[in-house]
Amino acid sequence: MTKYRSIDALRGFASLWVLAYHLWCAYFPTANLQNCSPSANLPSATELPLEVLLTMPLFGFGYAGICLFFVLSGFCIHLPQARRFQKTGHDGLDKRSFASRRFWRLYPAFFASLFLAGLGFFAMNFCWESPPGEAGITFHYFLEATGAVWIGMNAFFLFAIKPEATIINAVYWTLWLELQFYLFYPLLLRACRSWGFGRIAMFLLAIELLLSLVPALVGAEKLMKPPLEWLFLCRYFEWFLGMLLAEKCAKGSFIAPRTSLIVVFAGFSGGMLLALHPIGHSIHQLVFSIGSFGVVGYFIAPSLRKSESRSIHLFGWFGDYSYSLYLVQIPVMRIVYALETQLPMSYRGYTSFYAAGAVCLVLVPVVAWCLYQLVEKRFMKGSPPRIETGAIAPVESPIEPTPDDHPTTARMSSSVMMRYSLPSTVTSEPA
């Protein structure tokens, strides 16, 4: 079977794009378009600094990486069943095995990241958010500063009923969406085989448009806030687009490269324009997913697979541990910026602030690679690692690139912006 190294490369690119977006938001928080209505919260283009206007198209829309991750996830999850169906006429989905693989693939690295999230949260609180008083670091202070309660709630995804718990690491909300995608996938697959992919696509698209557009049209955007915004139906069409690509791929039917590029341009340029419109903003990420559909369709084309470039292999290396790279971004950034606040006053300022961002660009991949080697890689086959002759048996990347695709699209605590006199008018939710 074909190993799609290009899929790994897309995962690597998306994770780095999200990282660049997080850092961009640290310096230009008032220009963030992800979760706010531009008409209510953003200054006009003439009021934005030149550096914001120049960097926004590339970095300011980096949260589109989450749409790319969702499409990749649907593609990778469905591809084995689609291939099996074409050969035997049956999907052959073993629900118990599927659930076991997903659990061991996702949870070990997730649990390990909770420790790092607590460390980052403690660094943020200790250094500037809520320093210890005269009593010093008491047990009660330690529990609050590390966010012990939030960690416990995140471990069991209870932030779905208490959204503020995602403050410990705001990227976790996408894991909750992915978990719902996986839980309902067997039912979705059965519906597709019974009623056809086309009808299911129209149904899911209608549901997502209904949940996105209606609140905006009637002026009730506040209705679609967490946890309702984290309902899987709000983003299931985006994940389903990956299933459509997997089904076409299994049949040997690929989108023409030129058509894919047209879809890419229309999707991403259209999404950027809609993000600036009060009503269009509610569906701009859906339009980004259309562009992501084109991206994935272009990179799985046989002509491209035969001519994989060095950049494919480079981004593929980041893609190997993109899940870890996604999980550690916010905690590492908090630790770095917290340490920057402890520099002597003579060294602190915008220069040190920008230098901290450069450190994050290097340190985040390093920490992510360590998490991948120590935890994630050992569970790549979807089961606890077996110890043989005192060492972990080597694990190869599966034919189905495991799609722990979360783009991560979460911002740092707004207190970071306040600390550097960059007041944010954005009323945001966990991104």
Convert the pLDDT of each residue in 389-424 to its tens digit: 333 333 333 344 434 433 333 333 343 433 333 333
The yes-or-no verdict on residue 340 having pLDDT over 90 is: yes
Q: What is the pLDDT of residue 276?
A: 86
Is the predicted pLDDT of residue 72 greater than 70, yes or no?
A: yes
Check pLDDT > 60 for residue 94: yes
- Containing 372, the helix (H) or strand (E) segment is helix 350-374
Number of H helices, E strands in the chain: 17, 2
Model confidence at 66: pLDDT above 70 = yes
Q: How confident is the model at residue 31 (pLDDT cuts 50, 70, 90)?
A: confident
Q: Is residue 286 helix, strand or coil?
A: helix
The closest of 258, 263, 272, 256 to 290, measured between CA atoms, is 263
pLDDT-above-70 percentage for the chain: 81
Residues 217-246: what's their mean pLDDT? 81
| DSSP-based three-state secondary structure for 356 | helix
Whether the pLDDT of residue 213 is over 90: the answer is no
Instruction: Determine contact, residues 124/334, Cβ cutoff 8 Å.
Output: yes
Q: Which of 42-51, 62-71, 362-371 has the lowest mean pLDDT?
A: 42-51
Looking at residue 310, its pLDDT comes to: 81
Give the confidence band of 331 by pLDDT, cuts at 50, 70, 90.
very high
**Which tens digits make up the pLDDT trace of 124-142?**
999 988 899 888 899 999 9
- Mean pLDDT across the stretch 251-273? 94
Say if residue 17's pLDDT is above 60. Answer: yes
- Convert the pLDDT of each residue in 341-350 to its tens digit: 999 888 888 7
Confidence of residue 370 (pLDDT cuts 50, 70, 90): very high
For residues 338 and 44, the model is more confident at: 338
At residue 181, does pLDDT exceed 50?
A: yes
The average confidence (pLDDT) of the chain is 83
CB-based contact 385:392 (threshold 8 Å): yes
Residue 388 has pLDDT above 50, yes or no: no
Helix, strand, coil tally for the chain in percent (to 5): 70, 0, 25
Any long-range contacts for 304-307 (C-beta under 8 Å, 24+ apart)?
A: 304/6, 304/257, 305/2, 305/4, 305/5, 305/6
* Residue that wins the pLDDT comparison between 160 and 321: 321
- Of 20, 37, 14, nearest in space to 428 by CA: 37
Cα-only R_g, the chain: 22
Write the DSSP symbol of residue 57: I
Q: Are 313 and 5 in contact (CB under 8 A)?
A: yes
User: For residue 371, what pLDDT is reported?
Assistant: 97
Per the CB < 8 A criterion, the answer to whether 278 and 33 are in contact is no
Helix (H) or strand (E) holding 388: strand 387-388
Sequence-separated (6 or more) residues with CB below 8 Å from residue 59: 20, 21, 23, 24
Q: Give me the mean pLDDT over the 201-214 stretch.
A: 92
Say whether pLDDT at 110 is over 70.
yes
For the cut 80, the answer to whether the pLDDT of residue 45 exceeds it is no
pLDDT, position 385:
53
The CB density around residue 6, as the number of other CB atoms within 10 Å, is 23
For residue 40, what pLDDT is reported? 61
H helix runs in 225-256, sequence order: 236-250
- Inform me whether the pLDDT recorded for 234 exceeds 70: yes
Q: How far apart are CA 2 and CA 400, in angstroms?
A: 9
Question: What pLDDT does 41 receive?
Answer: 62
Task: Write out 321-342 in H/E/C secondary structure.
Answer: CHHHHHHHHHHHHHHHHHHHCC
Say yes or no to pLDDT of 27 above 70: yes
What mean pLDDT comes out for the span 80-104?
Answer: 93
Q: Residue range 99-125: average pLDDT?
A: 94
Among all chains, which residue has been given the structure tokens 């990282």? 19
Q: pLDDT value at position 120? A: 95
Spell out a b/e string for 75-99, using b for 16 or more CB atoms within 10 Å of the CB, else e. bbbbbbbbbebeeeeebebeeeebe
pLDDT in the model for residue 402 = 39
Return the number of other C-beta atoms located less than 10 Å from residue 198's C-beta. 10
* 392 φ/ψ angles, rounded to the nearest 5 degrees: -75, 130
Reported as a pLDDT band with limits 50, 70 and 90, residue 44 is: low
Lowest mean pLDDT among 103-112, 153-162, 259-268, 336-345: 153-162
Q: Give the pLDDT confidence score for residue 279 in this predicted structure.
A: 85
* pLDDT of amino acid 3: 64
Among all chains, which residue has been given the structure tokens 């687009």? Answer: 241
d(CA 111, CA 325): 14
pLDDT of 71 strictly over 90: yes
pLDDT score, position 218: 72
Give the C-alpha distances (Å, rounded to integers) separating 144 from 118, 121, 331: 10, 9, 16
Answer whether residue 260 shows pLDDT above 50.
Answer: yes
For residue range 304-324, list pLDDT tens digits in order: 665 567 888 899 999 999 999
